[in-house]
Amino acid sequence: MRLRPLLALASILSPLASIRGVAADAPPPAAALAAAAAQSPALHAAHARAEAARARAGAAGRLPDPEIEGMYSRAREPMGEDYPMWEINLRQPLPKAGERAADRERAAAVVSMAEADYAVMAGELCADVAMALAEADAARARADLFARQIERVERVLAAIDARLASGSGRIAERLALQTRIASLRLSLEQDTRMADDALAEARGRLGLPPDAALPPFSAPTSAEIDADNLPSLSLASAKAAEARAMARMARASSRPMTAVGLRFEREEQSMGNMDTVGVSFMTEIPFRSRGYARAEERAARSEENAARSEAEASRHRARAAVSRAERAERLAGVSRRLAEETAARLDAEYDSLVRSAGAAGGMGGEIPVLMVLEILERQTDTRIQIIDAEAAARVARAGLWNHAPASLFATP
């Protein structure tokens, strides 16, 4: 008769013997996450900077305004005659050779940088949010697992209490079950907090209120990442173009500034006015500015070299991110396969334990509870390994957002 509670335990715990790996959900279209990111304050700011760059481009390479100068004086002759004199000069400063073209090139490069920076920021934001969502999903999965295990252990505890009430149980078994429940509840609280923190981080990144709905996890596939077509490459290319434009502006600055104008002068004398009309020409002697211009040109060349190095580093980072994501997905697949094998072994071990308890007669009421608890713990650990492996794969896929093509994001 003492074997009946154990058979009841077998019917309660038997679902634990079959553990299925947490299959990776097919990611929904990335448009939902990209659209949510586009509404964030950070990307609104990037969009406004791109608009400002485009507006400034319209003023690039403009001609300087004409200048007008007026002078008035009074002249006194030796005979004592006093008469007024006044003069008007109209000048048009001329741009330095190549200055306007370089300024237009620089403005176009700034626009390209602002647009590429928008795509880079969008990818970084989506990556941060996707990682937070992956961490939250993993924490929730662990919390759900712990909640189910608590419920099952509590059922075992109820069966042990029933045996103790009949005078056939052991208090040590009850204490062991209570300790296990306390440990599971602590883990449940920790993972619940981790999930809430991760979701709060995602909402903060997107600029959403605390109770706002979040888009589902999504990430680009490895096939979508082209190491030769990255937003970071576009940004580096725009920086190189700006550096080349700055080099051209440096060369232009070493050339002299010139201006042409018209001059009109009148002397009002008693015998009649004497008017003078002339043409003026002004130029600089740029003996100092040439040294400064050479230094600026060297600096621009260094900036261009730095942009090229950034582009090469971006390619390496993209290839490394793709490789990492592929390795993480392979590991998750191996973890799922091994978990099924481990679950089968635990199932066989559990069945053997129940059969042994039935054949042991009087000993059967005392031994299996702690052993069943050990199997339960091993099953929990196996399931957590699967959850963590899937979470690592999702985090690695989320990192691909940093290298996603600009076509996934709305053009600012």
pLDDT tens-place string over residues 164-209: 787 776 787 788 888 889 999 999 999 999 999 999 999 999 999 9
Residue 257 is predicted with a pLDDT of: 83
Instruction: Could you please state the CATH topology (level 3) that the domain comprising 4-60+110-241+314-408 is classified under.
Output: Outer membrane efflux proteins (OEP) (1.20.1600)
Q: What is the pLDDT of residues 214-259, one digit of tens each?
A: 999 999 988 889 888 899 999 999 999 999 998 888 888 888 888 8
Residue 23 is predicted with a pLDDT of: 39
Give me the chain's average pLDDT, please. 82
Are the C-beta atoms of 61 and 248 separated by less than 8 Å? no
Residue 21 is predicted with a pLDDT of: 37
Which residues have C-beta within 8 Å of that of residue 153, sequence separation ≥ 6? 177, 180, 181, 184, 373, 376
Residue 98 is predicted with a pLDDT of: 86
Q: Which two tokens stand for residue 337?
A: 């396969």
For the entire predicted model, the pTM comes to 0.78
Local structure of 171: helix, strand or coil: helix
CA distance linking residue 32 with residue 27, whole number of Å: 11
3-state secondary structure 228-259: CCCHHHHHHHHHHHHHHHHHHHHHHHCCCCEE
80 confidence band (pLDDT: 50, 70, 90):
low
Neighbours of 256 (CB within 10 A): 14
pLDDT at 156 over 80: no
Query: What residue spans define the domains of the chain?
Result: 4-60+110-241+314-408
Q: Does 121 or 342 have the greater pLDDT score?
A: 121
CA distance linking residue 352 with residue 346, whole number of Å: 10
| Helices 99-165/231-253 angle, 10° precision | 150
147 confidence band (pLDDT: 50, 70, 90):
very high
Q: What is the pLDDT of residues 342-400, one digit of tens each?
A: 877 877 776 676 566 444 433 334 446 777 778 878 888 888 888 988 999 999 999 99
